[in-house]
Amino acid sequence: MNASPASAVREARKTLGNRLREIRRGAGFVTARAFAARAGWHESKTSRIENGVTLPSEDDIRVWGRVCGAEGEVAELIAMARGIEEMYVDWRRLERAGLKQVQDSVLPLYERTQRFRFYQSWVVPGLLQTPDYACAVLSTVASLRGAPGDVADAVEARMTRQRILHSGRRFAFIIEEWVLRTVVGDSTVMAAQLGQLIPRALLPSVSLGVIPMGIPRGRAWPTESFSVFDDERVAVELVSAHLNVRQPDGIADYSRTFAELAAIAVYGTHARKLIVSALDSLG
């Protein structure tokens, strides 16, 4: 995928800015200066909004609609702005209410999704984690980000969500081989986690692919971890933030990337050999 997650946010702001520019010109304001004078703000503010540098507030959009006689479009424009604001969420802001709240917040999305696609380049996907592995992951998250220490409750919520694997929905997991070889917690925790992957991969609803180390990558270059929920939404895990992609073009980009990664992964017996090899390396 050529575009970075941050650039997706910038492109979404530009799209909204272009629409506002069209409305401004359609109302007869040929220059940004003329519009700004009528709106009662500085010309540079209009320029920043139209060029996607600044995301307009809801009040800004209402003023835009009133000045341009486009009140009928205000609700849709505000919805676009809210969607852009939700795209990029700082992890610390998201986790301020606790790690359990983060786990619970995704339940409605999981409940309405029928087809799940997960790519993980960092850790074993949450739906496949053992309690001890999840505890090690979430404890590290809490320590690094200064999140509230409700790790036990968050682990319990994550384990409860795993029931969805038996709900008849479809799950495709792609992980990098180094995820299998990165010791999370300690060797005992990691051995139990690797041991659980094999029976989980045998579930009728689950497809587990592993991308071997050393394989020619072509276009399927390692990227940030992401999850695709039907064709409705993509959730991207960044170091400092969480990115929500809802635009059809962005979802299509991630769906295409997932297909390219899936094409170089190995499955079944070949995937199990990589898991067993990683397990053996723990001694």
pLDDT in tens, 34-53: 999 999 999 999 999 999 88
Residue pLDDT, tens place only, 80-128:
887 777 666 654 565 566 778 777 778 898 999 999 999 999 999 999 9
* Confidence label for 2 from pLDDT (cuts 50, 70 and 90): very low
- Compute the distance between CA of residue 73 and CA of residue 115 in angstroms, rounded to an integer: 34
Residues 64 and 109 in one domain: no
Residues 51 and 145 in one domain: no
Structural domain ending residue among the three candidates 88, 118, 143: 88
For the purposes of burial, counting CB atoms within 10 Å of the CB of 37, is it exposed (0-12), middle (13-18) or buried (19 or more)? middle
Residues 62 and 116 in one domain: no
pLDDT at 92: 55
- Compute the distance between CA of residue 250 and CA of residue 18 in angstroms, rounded to an integer: 18
* Confidence label for 64 from pLDDT (cuts 50, 70 and 90): very high
pLDDT at 22: 94
Residues 127 and 79 in one domain: no
Q: Structural domain of residue 244, as residue ranges?
A: 95-281
pLDDT at 244: 80
Residues 55 and 170 in one domain: no
- Compute the distance between CA of residue 53 and CA of residue 156 in angstroms, rounded to an integer: 41
Q: Where is pLDDT greater, at 93 or 75?
A: 75
| Mean pLDDT confidence for 1-30 | 80
Residues 241 and 124 in one domain: yes
pLDDT at 96: 62
pTM, two decimals, is 0.74
In the predicted structure, residue 265 carries a pLDDT above the cut 90: yes
Residues 36 and 149 in one domain: no
Residues 137 and 208 in one domain: yes
Which helix (H) or strand (E) element contains residue 269?
Answer: helix 268-281
Residues 50 and 187 in one domain: no
| Mean pLDDT confidence for 216-237 | 89
Structural domain ending residue among the three candidates 22, 57, 88: 88
Residues 67 and 102 in one domain: no
Structural domain ending residue among the three candidates 88, 120, 150: 88
3-state secondary structure 162-212: HHHHHCCCEEEEEEEHHHHHCCCCCHHHHHHHHHHHHHHHCCCCEEEEEEC
pLDDT at 232: 86
Share of the chain above pLDDT 90, in %: 64
State phi, psi for 226 to the nearest 5 degrees. Answer: -150, 160
Closest CA to 96 of 142, 152, 49: 142
Residues 154 and 64 in one domain: no
Share of the chain above pLDDT 70, in %: 90
Q: Which of 123-137, 229-243, 248-262 has the lowest mean pLDDT?
A: 229-243
Q: What is the CATH number of the domain that holds 214?
A: 3.30.870.10
Q: What is the CATH number of the domain that holds 63?
A: 1.10.260.40
In the predicted structure, residue 269 carries a pLDDT above the cut 60: yes
Residues 150 and 17 in one domain: no
pLDDT at 1: 46
Specify the number of domains making up the chain: 2
